[in-house]
Each structure stands twice: as structure tokens, then as C-alpha cells.
Amino acid sequence: MISGILGVSIAFVAAAVSSASYWLYYRENEERFYQFANRAFTVMGIGILFSSTLLYYNIFSHNFQLNYVYSYTSLKLSNYYLLSTFWAGQEGTFLLWLFFGTLFGIILIRSVGRREPLVMFFVMLVQTFILLILLKKSPFTMIWHTNEGLNPGFMPADGASLNPLLQNPWMIIHPPVMFVGYSSTVVAFAFAMNAMVKKEFAKWAKDARPWVIFSTLFLGMGIIMGAYWSYVTLGWGGYWAWDPVENASFVPWMFAAALLHGLVIQIRQEGLKKTNLFLAGLTFISVLWGSFLTRSGVLADFSVHSFAASDLNLYLITFVVLFSGIFLYFYFRSIRLIDSPKFAEGILSRETFILIGLVTLLITGLIVFIATSSPIYTGLLGQPSNVSIDFYNLMSIPISIAILASLAIAPLLVWKVSELRDKKTLLFGIIGASVVTIISIIAGLTKPVSVVLVFLSLIVVVVHSMVAVKLLKKMPVKTGAYLSHIGIGLMIVGIITSSMYNRSEKISLPSGEIRSSDFGYELQFVEFEQRSDGKDRVRLQVNKNDQSYQANPQFYFSEYTNSYMISPHVKVGLVKDIYISPISYIPENSAAHQRLVLAKRESKTVNDLTFTFHKFIVGEHMTDAPMSVKADLTVVVSRENYQKEYSLQPSFWLEETKFQSADFSIPDADYNVHIESIDASAGTVTLVIHGGMQQDQQTADILSIEISEKPFISILWIGCVVLLVGITVSMVDRVKKK
């Protein structure tokens, strides 16, 4: 669409002109350059607003001639979900990024634009480059430009629709919140660059601090929303899987949190000036690097969020290299000019323990940053490989201990000198934590690592609660940091209890029969309910200890993915959540049709076959063939006198907006197998196996489910809320002071 492309083009030219004019105003200090820069900024903003409005107009008017509208919308989608399709694809998210960047620019012009024009120069430089990317991959490309064989003017009868997993209320909230956090990291980066160019290394910290709090708040909020979305929607039972997409937001959050604590020391004690400049650059560059990893397709075989190489690779890596190079040049030029003031006398000072927490956050971010990128550099050395989830989980234990230990002591120490100011509060914290930990051990908390983490977390909760209560009487706005740290303590307790002491069981439920789980639940599969919206669900009756309730997990076939979609039923409780997730549904007289869900390197047996899933083999975008993915499998066929092993690679491909798969015959056996679906969040493949059983063996519908108990997971979510409330209080305090 010419008008949309023209709007982006005008915005690109205006952004470049505005950026150059802000630089000229800094060099020449002539008012005409500043006024011209602001006018060009206004033109850019109008171009971005026009493009955003035009895209929404085409979405709601169902103009399927636009490839973006066709790819993510349909006539069946409600207006509620049509709203969220704006940010369903790469092009829309870049436009969203630009929109938020424009809003931040307006605030900066009104606050520091005239005084610090270089801040606006660097913000506009980023806007210019994102607009360049949007010119390369435009949301206004017509469908016949991306699909060969279609005649110009062709209008599809309907669109491909939105992925069913994204047809969720959290899709309306989570991505915009996350992109507010992503895009805001440029502001602290711009302030740091301004300081280094001007060689003024002190005062930037006060200007940047509210923005760093803002970035930390929205990145944290986005991560927590995404975790809860995953927990209540995807059905795998967890909320964090160390997926590259998750890590792409987690790493900047770690760096932003480290920078926030570093700025406290710089503003109060004039220390960590070099460290804070480095952290400001690292936070923003990690956002750019995360965007490259998740959008380019380089992690296609390790995160199924993206299958094939992107045509934006060169642009994205140039984005990273350009801004990394600019930052590193000015950073290494500046550090030799910065004097390092005396830090503190003695070890037991508040600076020391804040520094311990800062370094721990920095190390955590760097480890996850490097580990997430492992397929890139291992691929250069030979076979690409990914870091296992076990590595991340193991790594997080000593890091959590270090963070909790520093949090427990820091608020009781004095600035500059080595002195424990409030021994009474620490004693109360230790006693309170000891009592609750002993009660927890009696109740079943047995693992040594769990005991240590719970004990330290409880000390943090008690100590920071007591300090916060004292501040409430005098300066309520100063309680933000303490509330945040209380939230962290509660979160770690919730993570331990819900993950280390989670228990689950897989159960097959023939229709009408009552089956019992190993931990006391009686479950009855009542019926399979077909709904008018196509999102069928199953009705279960759950009983335990004279308490009864109805569970309705969803289990429906999606034409979009050509597979069954599941959504769990979660009965939320203060003491525990009861989590029921459907696995498979086999109608009566269909025993020869069986599903198998396999994670990488996992083996499962069906009748006389044992399947092992090794990895995904990802195809390329070809002009004469659709994008395809193969599952690298090994199947062992067992007979009375022998076993034979065969390698299989069934395919799964995208054709005419729908995923397709063909049956693959298993040698030496009366079975066929095909891929039903690939789970993007868990990295699993679902296989359908045909044959091998007589159909008259099954006389009732059979539903397979997994039921889990997640003890005290409510503490995790309460801790998340308290953390965000604390950061919000701190931000309000900083903004009022500014």
C-alpha cells in the first residue's frame, strides 16, 4: 500500500533530519537548528502515527490484500483480538517500538531537549534505524508481493487468522507492556552517551535514574505477565522455561536492575561512574542483541518461535554492531578520564553489600546472555548446541544465595563506614526466619538447598518488612526499594515450594469411570463439550476430602496449526493450585489412533514401539517448496525374538497458511506416524501413531490428563505483585523529585 509505505518513508527522512539537527544544535548552539530538529521530530511522529492508524484501519476493515493483515487476522476474530494483531508480527512490533520511542522523545524534549540535545540525537538515531528496518520489512506489503502466482489485485476471501495460543486476553496487555520496557532502555543509553561525549560523568545519573526505574518496572511487569500467561494458558505446568525468547527480556531486566543499584551509589557516594556507564550501554545493547536472536532465525532449532532465516539478518546485526561500536568507542575513551573516588572504609558498609548485589545481577545477566547465544558460537566451531535448562537451574542457586545474603544485610548497614546499625532487626529476622523454616521442614521441606534458600528469603522478608514499617510513619515514598526486596524474597519462596515440591501424575480416564490419583484425587471424565466458537472443552468432576468441583480444561482442534490445542484448568488456592492439563483424547473405537508428546532426547513406548526424539531439522524458504521442519526420530521395533532400530524424519510444513504433515511408514511394523504439532513454548513434538491395535479393543472415549499440585505457588504471584508495587513507589518518588 503506497500511502503506508510513504508514511514510513517520510518518517524515516524526518527522523534522520531531526537527528542531524540535534547534533548541529549541540555543535553550533544556534536556535534555528533546535527548532528545525523539533519540527522534523514532529513530522516523524505524524508519519508514525499515520502509519499506525492506517494499519489499524486495514486490520479492522479486513483488507486481506495486505500481507500483514492476511497473515494475522480473519473474519472470525473478534474486535478484541483484532486489536492485538497490530503487534502479532515483526513489522507491527517494530511500529509499536517506534510509537513508544516517539512518546519518550516528546517527554525528553519538554524536560532536557534544549539543555541536553545529544540525548535527543541518540534517541533519534535509534528511531532512524528502526524506520530503516521497517522500510525493508513493511507491514504495508501486498499479498501478491510475498506469494508468487497471485495476480495483483487479488483479495483472499478470509485471512489466515491469529495463532490460537495468542487468542488470549494476555495478548492485549503483555506485548505492549514488554515493548514499553524494551524501547525505554534507549533513554538511559542516550543519557550515558551524552555524558561520555561531553565528558560530564556525574550529573547524568540523576537524569537517568527515573528512566531506569521505569525500564525496570515495565520489563519486570512484562516478564511476570508472560510467565503467568504461560502458566494458565499453555498447559505444560510451568511459568519459566529459559527459552531464548524469555531470556531476551530477562537479560535486559537483570542489567537494568544492576544499573538502578549502581546509580544509587553514584548519586549518594559519587562511586561506580565507570560501571554505571557500562551498564547503561549493556542494557540497551542486550535489547538489540535479544531482538536479533529472536527475530533472525539463528536459534530456529532451539526455540521453535522462529523456524527459518529472516531477510532482516543483515539489518539486525548491523543495528547491534553499529550501536555497540559507537558505545564502546566513547566508553573506552572516557574511562581513563574518570577518577575513582574512595569507595568505603571496611567491608560492612552499605555500599559494599549493594555492590555485591549489583555484581551478582550483572554476572547473572552475562551468563544467561552468553548461554542463550551458545548455538551461534558453537555452530562456528562445528555442531550448534544449546545450553540445557538444568544448567540455568543449577546456575541460579548460588546466585540466589548471594543476592539474598546481600539483601538481608544491606538495609541495616551505614554508608561509607563499616557499621551494623540495627542488630535488633537482624536478630528478629533470623529468629522469625528460623521458626518458619523449622515449621516448613516439619511439613516436608527436606532438600538442603531449599532449606537454605527459604531461610535466607524469610530473613529478607522480615528485615525489609520491619524497615518498611518504620519508614511508613515518616517517609512512605521511601519504602519502594524495601517493598521490592520483600517481593523478591516471597518470589523465591514461591518458586521453591511450587517447583521442587510439585507432584504430578498422568491418568487415563475412560468416559464415566472414576479413577483415583496417587495423591488422593478422584476424577471422572463426564463429557466432551463441543462449543459454538470451536474451542471445545472437556468436563471433569474432581473430588477430594468431601470437596468437589468441576474442571473444564480446553481440548480442541485448530485448523490454523492442524493440531489439537490444549489449555489447562487451574483451581487457584492460597495453599496450593490444582493444575489439570489434557494430554490426549481418543474417541470410542479409535484405539489405533494414538498421540505421543516427546521432548528432545526423550523416549516413550507405544505398544511394541519405542520412539526417541533427537532434534528438529529446519528447512529453508524455497521458491518451489514451502518452509518445512523435520523431526529427527529413532524408533525401536520390539518383537519376541529381536529388536530393530530405525531412523525416521517425518516432515511438518506450512502450506497455504496451514501446517501439513504426511504419514511416514515404520519399517518392519504395521504402523504409520506423522507430526501433529510442534509446541513452540516447550520445544516438543506431538506424533500421531496409526495401526497396531484392533479397533474393537476400545469401548469408551478415553481422556488422558496430567494432574498436578503446586504448593504455595500463590506466594510467587503475591511476591511478583509486591515487587512491582515497590518499583512503582520508587518511580513515583523519583518523578516527584524531578
pLDDT in tens, 227-261: 999 999 888 888 998 888 889 999 999 999 999 99
Ordered by start, the domain boundaries in the chain are 1-162, 164-307+316-420, 589-699
8 A C-beta contact, residue 462 and residue 437:
no
Q: Which fold has domain 589-699?
A: Tick-borne Encephalitis virus Glycoprotein; domain 1 (2.60.98)
β-pairing, 593-599 with 547-551? unpaired
Matching residue, cell 555497540: 324
Q: What is the mean pLDDT of residues 320-347?
A: 87
Matching residue, cell 463429557: 527
Q: Look at residue 659 in the predicted model and tell me its pLDDT.
A: 65
**CA atoms of 484 and 20, how far apart (whole Å):** 41
8 A C-beta contact, residue 592 and residue 691:
yes
Backbone phi, psi, residue 588, to 5°: -55, 140
Which residues 6+ apart lie within 8 Å of 281 measured at CB? 189, 192, 193, 327, 328, 331
Higher pLDDT, 301 or 577: 577
What are 635's strand-pairing partners?
611, 646
Q: Indicate the burial class of 258 (C-beta count within 10 angstroms; 0-12, 13-18, 19 or more).
A: buried
Q: Look at residue 690 in the predicted model and tell me its pLDDT.
A: 76
Matching residue, cell 532438600: 447
Q: What is the pLDDT of residues 66-109, one digit of tens each?
A: 999 999 999 989 898 999 999 988 899 999 999 999 999 999 99
Matching residue, cell 563506614: 417
CA angle 467, 468, 471 (to 5 degrees): 90
Chain centre distance of CA 270 = 35
Q: What is the mean pLDDT of residues 406-419?
A: 87
**CA atoms of 280 and 205, how far apart (whole Å):** 10
8 A C-beta contact, residue 364 and residue 230:
no
Question: CA-based Rg of the chain, rounded to a whole angstrom?
Answer: 28
Find the farthest-apart pair of alpha carbons in the chain and give their distance in angstroms, rounded.
91
**CA atoms of 306 and 157, how far apart (whole Å):** 27
Residue 603: which of 566, 638, 653, 571 has the closest Cα? Answer: 638
Residue 306 pLDDT exceeds 50: no
8 A C-beta contact, residue 160 and residue 70:
yes
Q: Indicate the burial class of 620 (C-beta count within 10 angstroms; 0-12, 13-18, 19 or more).
A: exposed
Residue 295 pLDDT exceeds 60: yes
Matching residue, cell 547465544: 373
Q: What is the pLDDT of residues 196-216, one digit of tens each?
A: 999 999 889 999 999 999 999
Residue 304 pLDDT exceeds 50: no
**CA atoms of 278 and 255, how far apart (whole Å):** 10
Q: What is the pLDDT of residues 168-191, one digit of tens each?
A: 888 899 999 999 999 999 999 999
Higher pLDDT, 324 or 614: 324
8 A C-beta contact, residue 692 and residue 671:
yes
Cell readout for 663 is 504419514
Q: What is the pLDDT of residues 655-703, one digit of tens each?
A: 654 567 777 888 777 788 888 877 655 678 888 887 754 444 556 778 8
- Within 13 Å and on the Cβ side, how many CA atoms surround 93? 18
Q: Look at residue 624 in the predicted model and tell me its pLDDT.
A: 35
* Residue 631 binned pLDDT confidence (cut-offs 50, 70, 90): confident
Q: Look at residue 696 in the predicted model and tell me its pLDDT.
A: 47
**CA atoms of 298 and 307, how far apart (whole Å):** 9
Higher pLDDT, 396 or 565: 396
Higher pLDDT, 383 or 648: 648
Higher pLDDT, 697 or 409: 409
Backbone phi, psi, residue 91, to 5°: -60, -40
* Residue 433 binned pLDDT confidence (cut-offs 50, 70, 90): very high
pTM of the model: 0.86
Of how many residues is the chain composed? 738
Backbone phi, psi, residue 649, to 5°: -140, 70
Matching residue, cell 527522512: 13
Show the DSSP H helices in 336-447 as ranges.
350-372, 374-381, 389-409, 423-443
β-pairing, 537-544 with 514-516? unpaired
Residue 50 pLDDT exceeds 60: yes
- Within 13 Å and on the Cβ side, how many CA atoms surround 625? 9
Residue 34: which of 51, 46, 18, 13 has the closest Cα? Answer: 18
* Residue 347 binned pLDDT confidence (cut-offs 50, 70, 90): confident
* Residue 400 binned pLDDT confidence (cut-offs 50, 70, 90): very high
Residue 307 pLDDT exceeds 60: no
Q: Pick from 229-243, 299-313, 325-339, 468-482 the range whose average pLDDT is largest.
A: 325-339
Q: What is the pLDDT of residues 563-603, one digit of tens each?
A: 678 889 999 999 999 999 988 777 775 545 677 888 888 88
Higher pLDDT, 327 or 294: 327
Q: Look at residue 620 in the predicted model and tell me its pLDDT.
A: 40
Q: What is the pLDDT of residues 266-290, one digit of tens each?
A: 998 888 999 999 999 999 999 999 9
Which residues 6+ apart lie within 8 Å of 6 measured at CB? none
Q: Look at residue 655 in the predicted model and tell me its pLDDT.
A: 61
Residue 727 pLDDT exceeds 60: yes
- DSSP symbols for 575-590: SEEEEEEEEEEE-TT-
Q: What is the mean pLDDT of residues 483-503?
A: 93
Q: What is the pLDDT of residues 511-558, one digit of tens each?
A: 888 999 888 899 999 988 888 777 888 999 999 887 899 999 988 877
Averaged confidence pLDDT in the chain = 87
